[in-house]
């Protein structure tokens, strides 16, 4: 069974209200088939010197998007936590929305493992690529 964008967003707004406050502005655009896509609205406060979006902004988006993919696969009740995140920063992001696409490569009983490509909106080449592992508690 898989879950819809509406179900996942409803769960997130209830349990992670901070993801929808202030500068964060995450928008779940798609979930399903062990994948998820999330858009993060651009905000000047994400900028670092040099006009680029900060690394921690991209790390937070990758982490959130992989969590959304897990929610889409397992449903809105679980409490999963990141155990490993490894990210390569590839290019300077544009001052634009970020779009992250997550794919789960393994959904085991105890661990979910996968990766996330992060793009500047409208660009074909990714600005960052992250691999993640989440620990899944016994249901």
Residue closest to 85 by CA, chosen among 109, 63, 117: 63
CB 63 within 8 A of CB 85: yes
Residue with Cβ nearer a second copy (41 or 133): 133
Q: Which of residues 4-63 bind a second copy (CB under 8 A)?
A: 15-16, 18, 45, 48-50, 54-56, 59-60, 63
Candidates 3-11, 35-43, 70-78, 85-93; binding stretch for a second copy (CB under 8 A): 85-93
Q: How many C-beta atoms surround the C-beta of residue 64 within 10 A? A: 21
Residue closest to 114 by CA, chosen among 129, 103, 99: 103
Name the site residues for a second copy (rule: CB under 8 A).
15-16, 18, 45, 48-50, 54-56, 59-60, 63, 79, 81-91, 105-106, 110-111, 113, 115, 125-126, 129, 131, 133, 135
């Amino acid at each position: 069974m898989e879950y819809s964008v509406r179900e996942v967003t409803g769960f997130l707004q209830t349990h992670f209200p901070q993801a929808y406050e202030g500068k964060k502005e995450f928008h779940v655009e798609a979930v399903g088939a062990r994948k998820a896509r999330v858009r993060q609205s651009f905000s000047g406060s994400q900028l670092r010197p040099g006009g680029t979006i900060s690394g921690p902004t991209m790390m937070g988006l990758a982490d959130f998007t992989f969590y959304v993919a897990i929610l889409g696969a397992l449903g809105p009740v679980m409490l999963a936590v990141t155990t490993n995140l490894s990210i390569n920063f590839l290019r300077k992001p544009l001052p634009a929305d970020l779009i992250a696409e997550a794919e789960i490569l393994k959904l085991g009983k105890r661990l979910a493992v996968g990766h996330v490509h992060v793009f500047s909106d409208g660009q074909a080449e990714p600005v960052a690529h992250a691999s993640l592992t989440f620990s899944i508690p016994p249901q």
